[in-house]
Amino acid sequence: MEEDLKGMQVVIAGRTYPLRVKVGDEASIQQVVDSLNEKVRDFQLTYINKDVQDCLAMALLTYAVELQKQTQKEETSDDLVKKVDQLETLIDDILK
C-alpha cells in the first residue's frame, strides 16, 4: 500500500510539515490547510497580543467543537431513524 501514498508539504501557521497522503487527497488536504491558516489569521487579528501558537490552538478548538456538534447531530439523526423504524414495525404488527 506504500505506493498509494504521496509526499506533500503543507504550511500551517508559518511552519512547514511534510506529510504522506493518499494519492488524490492532496486537494482536500490543501483546502483544510488553507481554511485553518485563514482561521489562525482571523484569531491573530482579533487577539493581537496572542502568539501564533495560541491562535492555532483556538482555531483547532473551533474545528473540534464544530466536529463534535456534527457528530452529535448525526447520532441524534440515527436515533430518530431507529425510533421511526420501531414505530413502523409496531404499526405493521398492529395492521397484520
| pLDDT at residue 78, rounded to an integer | 82
Does this model's pTM top 0.85? My answer is no
Digit-coded pLDDT (tens) for 34-72? 999 999 999 999 999 999 999 999 999 999 999 999 888
Is residue 12 within 8 A of residue 56, CB to CB? The reply is yes
Asked if residue 2 has pLDDT above 60, the reply is no
Alpha carbon separation from 63 to 25, 35, 38, 43 (Å, rounded): 19, 10, 12, 13
Which whole number is the average pLDDT over 88-96?
80
Banded pLDDT at 16 (limits 50, 70, 90): very high
Q: Where are the domains of the chain?
A: 2-95
| pLDDT at residue 94, rounded to an integer | 84
| Dihedral over Cα of 84, 86, 88, 91: its sign | negative
